């Protein structure tokens, strides 16, 4: 007895009199097996795995077909994504709308698809965030999608019914390019899964065309065109053995690695800058992993992680390093503990004739090529049939137009259409199709121009039919058409490779296992001897070792040295400023030159003004060691020898108390190491030179104001202060005078080079002796230098040449700069040769021609360490 509900009451119904109960006993095990197999086949065939011919899952194929059917072409406007989802769900895909929208979103994401097939407008998500709802976003077909749906109306593929037999859908898309290899695929079915890597369109097409032209091609030949995957996010693939295995058997793996560079992110800090991440890895995931690894003590040497990614510059993830840590070793740890290095497992499973198969590269290409040959053959047959039918009608029209009067008489005299058709077929020997077409003629088609057009159309149709028949009659011709279409789509939609392919041994210093190896890079930088350089242009840099300086012969302006200090990588040095301050500099904070081989390239350093905290109007004078007695000279002629006693708890301190305030305040003009056996040398703007033993100046503490060094005239000031040994034969003095007004027959500069021993030593606080007599128009020295030679001049073109020493008496005048350059030789104006002199004894720099301004003059001196 059955029950039915009526309103709120349950009503009992009597069963029919002839009702017989039939209970069927079944085996639960066999029923579960059969049901599970049906479910598994449905998931495999209808949901999770792509077809090897067009590389699409059913939902993806239905989305593209429906968007094409809706006319959502690239040259038309976007429509709401919800509208597309509704059309697909209502007509072809009776499943969740979220599943359809998720599939469409992936087709539009450039970081997921190597060649996107949907042009999305709005928030279609990122690697770290999901997309907006379908009611907010808009979409249309991307240009490349038209190559997948091309020629669908020409019977190129089979159409099958939809779920309720009301509509039809293509069983596979024509797919002018190998979409499965280009965009890859991923999916999890029942008992199997697929994971295929994206490739470069141009490379895949080149491999497919080679296989079209050479059906018996080997895997080695095809891999010359397709060397490996090309991921949408770029990055690097390290190790190619797994790729070769996957191309041969369908299974393999490879390591994807981020694209990184080690840069000077601030004046004092180095950092690892990430510009490309592994496939499907987002920056937020990397940052989270780094922070977690730092907190758990798995990573050391990282001070901060900053995400500077924006739409204008793309991905930029800056990992700031602590000073004292080897960037290469930290990078190796990052590869080991974070997603900066990921493994990609290839499992090429796709449907072939409705069955899942694991295929290598050659099998995948052969399935696609066979599909494309079938598509082009069916399209050719369809077009041949259409043109033959049209030619048949055109020939009938031409017959009718030739005897148009009789045709009209036959039609007018016939009682009905069937009779007219029969009489036309009998009299003019026409087919029924030709007779029907003649009966449908309009009067305007009976002009003589229509006949000419019909004859031209007939000739064109005959030519096209012959071409189509030639394609169908020759396999070589058919393959030529397929190859040509592949080339066209590669030219239209292809781009350059983004992912670099590297062998494992290409980067031995940054592999994840290098940190464990005994020969790998140490995490912290060792305390190795090194140089710290300061150039005349204000660039700071250090070297990785203390290789002796070599002579390059040609230098740029940044490589003219002002100071050089011998120290160690974990040591400290001082920087003395014009305001009488010394700033402590940890050597590790100074940028290291990437490829120092005895020739410093200080353009790779950092500007001192950015590296040091200098006050307004304050400049860096020189670098100095902290453990040596220093001598300082000021613009007003004060000298001080400084004891190496410095505060340990301060980063900067005064080393001399300067007199005056504001614009009248004194300033430091020179700093040098001053042992007891050296001489202190002053040179003033009025060409006065004074040198006296350093032992005559007692070392003082850092707060002392110094003692009188040289006695100055009222309008004079010091332009150079340094140390030298007057008794040494290579000690020279170089002075350069400048004329305020150039008189006829004069030059703008005159230069003089004199041995220091020619100048007698005088007592401290005296006026010194004249070092250069001014010529007519000259009023002051613009440049001076004293030190251990040979003296050198460096042109603005970067050529270093030793200066001659045979010019003038100690109290004589200088020589025109052109004469000095003439004595050096023509190599000065054409810097093609190198000098044999020692670049460590850098000297006075002069301009390359007499007309260059004072701003082009550079000077540097040897720091005898």
Domain topology for 529-856: Neuraminidase (2.120.10)
**CA triple 58-61-64, angle to 5 deg:** 150
Q: Are strands 731-739 and 778-788 parallel, antiparallel or unpaired?
A: antiparallel
Q: Which two tokens stand for residue 597?
A: 């081989």
3-state DSSP assignment of residue 11: strand
Nearest CA to 576 among 525, 626, 636?
626
Q: How far from 561 is each of 117, 536, 630, 733, 839, CA to CA, in Å?
A: 58, 6, 19, 17, 9
Question: How many angstroms separate the CA atoms of 157 and 65, rounded?
Answer: 13
Question: How many angstroms separate the CA atoms of 476 and 283, rounded?
Answer: 50
Say if domain 196-257+343-494 classifies as CATH 1.10.268.10.
Answer: yes
Listed in sequence order, the DSSP H helices in 798-842 are: 817-824
pLDDT for 836 equals 27
Q: What letter does residue 281 receive in the DSSP assignment?
A: -
What's the predicted TM-score (pTM) here?
A: 0.73
pLDDT for 840 equals 27
Q: Which two tokens stand for residue 767?
A: 């006026």
Listed in sequence order, the DSSP H helices in 109-153 are: 143-149
Q: What letter does residue 840 receive in the DSSP assignment?
A: T
Question: How many angstroms separate the CA atoms of 421 and 439, rounded?
Answer: 8
Nearest CA to 351 among 124, 600, 706, 49?
49
pLDDT for 11 equals 62
Question: How many angstroms separate the CA atoms of 384 and 472, rounded?
Answer: 10
Q: Which two tokens stand for residue 738?
A: 């400048």
3-state DSSP assignment of residue 155: coil
498, with CB counted inside 10 A (0-12, 13-18, 19+), is: middle
Asked if 471 and 380 count as a contact pair (C-beta separation under 8 A), the reply is yes
Listed in sequence order, the DSSP H helices in 624-673 are: none
3-state DSSP assignment of residue 763: coil
Question: How many angstroms separate the CA atoms of 835 and 550, rounded?
Answer: 10
191 Cβ neighbours under 8 A, 6+ residues apart: 40
Catalytic residue among 41, 45, 136, 279: 136
Question: How many angstroms separate the CA atoms of 352 and 334, rounded?
Answer: 42
- Residues in the chain with pLDDT values less than 70: 1-12, 37, 39-43, 45, 446, 448-449, 504-522, 551-559, 741-747, 789-802, 804-812, 814-865
Q: What letter does residue 92 receive in the DSSP assignment?
A: T
Question: How many angstroms separate the CA atoms of 208 and 859, rounded?
Answer: 64
Q: How far from 148 is each of 174, 175, 180, 478, CA to CA, in Å?
A: 6, 4, 11, 19
Q: How many residues in total does the chain contain?
A: 865
857 Cβ neighbours under 8 A, 6+ residues apart: 736, 782, 783, 845, 846, 847
Which sequence spans correspond to the domains of the chain? 56-174, 196-257+343-494, 258-342, 529-856
3-state DSSP assignment of residue 629: coil
Asked if 109 and 122 count as a contact pair (C-beta separation under 8 A), the reply is no
pLDDT for 749 equals 73
Question: How many angstroms separate the CA atoms of 689 and 710, rounded?
Answer: 9
The CATH number fitting domain 258-342, selected from 3.30.1360.40, 3.30.499.10, 3.30.930.10, 3.40.50.720: 3.30.1360.40
CATH class of residue range 56-174: alpha beta
Neighbours of 64 (CB within 10 A): 26
Residue whose structure tokens are 């024509």: 174
652 Cβ neighbours under 8 A, 6+ residues apart: 581, 582, 583, 584, 613
3-state DSSP assignment of residue 551: coil
Annotation marks residue 596 as catalytic: no
Neighbours of 584 (CB within 10 A): 16
Q: Which two tokens stand for residue 402?
A: 């030739």
Q: Are strands 500-502 and 236-238 parallel, antiparallel or unpaired?
A: parallel
Neighbours of 522 (CB within 10 A): 11
Asked if 864 and 673 count as a contact pair (C-beta separation under 8 A), the reply is yes
Q: Which two tokens stand for residue 596?
A: 């120092």
């Amino acid at each position: 007895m059955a029950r039915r509900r009526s309103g709120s009451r349950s009503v009992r119904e009597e069963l029919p009199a002839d009702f017989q109960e039939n209970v069927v006993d079944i085996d639960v095990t066999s029923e579960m097996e059969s049901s599970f197999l049906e479910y598994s086949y449905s998931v495999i065939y209808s949901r999770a795995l792509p077809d090897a011919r067009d590389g699409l899952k059913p939902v993806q194929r239905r989305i593209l077909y429906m968007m094409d059917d809706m006319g959502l072409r690239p040259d038309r406007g976007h429509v709401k994504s919800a509208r597309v989802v509704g059309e697909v769900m209502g007509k072809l895909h009776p499943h969740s709308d979220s599943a359809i929208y998720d599939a469409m979103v992936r087709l539009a994401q450039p970081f997921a698809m190597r060649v996107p097939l949907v042009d999305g407008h709005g928030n279609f998500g990122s690697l770290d965030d999901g997309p907006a709802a379908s009611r907010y976003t808009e979409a249309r077909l991307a240009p490349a999608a038209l190559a997948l749906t091309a020629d669908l109306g020409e019977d190129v593929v089979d159409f099958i019914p939809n779920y309720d037999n009301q509509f039809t859908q293509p069983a596979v898309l024509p797919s002018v390019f190998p979409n499965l290899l280009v965009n890859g695929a991923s999916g999890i079915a029942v008992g199997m899964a697929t994971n295929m890597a994206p490739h470069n369109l141009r490379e895949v097409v080149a491999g497919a065309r080679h296989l079209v032209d050479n059906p018996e091609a080997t895997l080695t030949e095809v891999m010359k065109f397709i060397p490996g995957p090309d991921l949408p996010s770029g990055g690097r693939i390290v190790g190619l053995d797994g790729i070769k295995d996957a191309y041969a058997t369908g299974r393999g793996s490879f390591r994807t690695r981020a694209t990184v560079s080690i840069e000077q992110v601030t004046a004092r800090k180095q950092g690892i800058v990430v510009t490309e991440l592994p496939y499907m890895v987002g920056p937020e995931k990397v940052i989270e992993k780094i922070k977690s690894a730092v907190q758990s003590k798995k990573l050391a040497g990282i001070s901060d992680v900053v995400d500077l990614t924006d739409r204008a510059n793309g991905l930029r993830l800056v990992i700031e390093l602590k000073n004292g840590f080897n960037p290469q070793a930290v990078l190796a740890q990052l590869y080991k503990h974070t997603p900066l290095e990921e493994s990609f497992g290839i499992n090429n499973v796709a449907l072939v004739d409705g069955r899942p198969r694991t295929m290598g590269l050659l099998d995948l290409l052969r399935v696609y090529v066979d599909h494309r040959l079938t598509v082009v053959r069916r399209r050719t047959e369809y077009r041949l049939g259409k043109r033959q039918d049209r030619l048949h009608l055109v020939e009938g029209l031409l017959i009718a137009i030739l005897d148009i009067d009789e045709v009209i008489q036959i039609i007018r005299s016939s009682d009905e259409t069937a009779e007219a058709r029969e009489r036309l077929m009998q009299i003019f020997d026409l087919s029924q199709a030709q007779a029907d077409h003649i009966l449908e003629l309009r009067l305007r088609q009976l002009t003589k121009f229509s006949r000419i057009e019909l004859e031209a159309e007939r000739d064109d149709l005959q030519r096209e039919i012959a071409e189509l028949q030639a394609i169908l009659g020759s396999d070589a011709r058919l393959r030529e058409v397929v190859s040509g279409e592949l080339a066209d789509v590669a030219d239209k939609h292809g781009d350059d490779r983004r992912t670099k392919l590297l062998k494992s041994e290409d980067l031995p210093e940054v592999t994840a296992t290098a940190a464990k190896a005994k020969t790998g890079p140490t995490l912290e930088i060792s305390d190795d001897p090194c140089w710290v350089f300061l150039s005349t242009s204000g660039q700071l840099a250090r070297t990785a070792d203390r290789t002796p300086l070599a002579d390059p012969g040609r230098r740029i302006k940044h490589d003219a040295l002002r100071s050089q200090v011998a120290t160690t990588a974990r040591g400290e040095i001082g920087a003395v400023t014009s305001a009488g301050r010394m700033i402590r500099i940890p050597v590790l904070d100074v940028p290291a030159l990437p490829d120092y081989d005895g020739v410093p390239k200080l353009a790779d350093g950092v500007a001192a003004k950015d590296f040091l905290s200098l006050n307004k109007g304050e400049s860096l004078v020189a670098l100095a060691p902290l453990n040596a007695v220093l001598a300082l000279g000021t613009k007003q002629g004060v000298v001080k020898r400084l004891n190496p006693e410095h505060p340990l708890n301060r980063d900067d301190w005064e080393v001399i108390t300067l007199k005056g305030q504001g614009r009248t305040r004194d300033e430091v003009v020179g700093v040098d190491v001053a042992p007891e056996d050296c001489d202190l040398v002053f040179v003033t703007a009025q060409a006065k030179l004074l040198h006296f033993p350093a032992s005559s100046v007692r070392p003082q503490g850092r707060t002392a104001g110094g003692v009188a060094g040289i006695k100055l005239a009222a309008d004079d000031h010091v332009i150079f202060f340094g140390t030298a040994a007057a008794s040494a034969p290579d000690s020279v003095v170089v002075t350069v005078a400048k004329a305020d007004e150039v008189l006829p027959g004069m030059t703008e500069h005159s230069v003089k080079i004199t041995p220091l021993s020619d100048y007698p030593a005088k007592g401290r606080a005296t006026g010194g002796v004249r070092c250069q007599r001014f010529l007519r128009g000259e009023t002051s020295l613009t440049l001076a230098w004293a030190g251990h030679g040979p003296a050198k001049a460096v042109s603005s073109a970067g050529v270093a040449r030793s200066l001659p020493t045979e010019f003038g008496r100690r109290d004589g005048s200088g020589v025109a700069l052109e004469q000095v350059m003439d004595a050096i030789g023509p190599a000065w104006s054409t810097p093609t040769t190198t000098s044999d002199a020692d670049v460590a004894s850098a000297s006075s720099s002069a301009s390359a021609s007499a007309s260059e301004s004072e701003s082009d003059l550079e000077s540097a001196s040897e720091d005898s360490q």
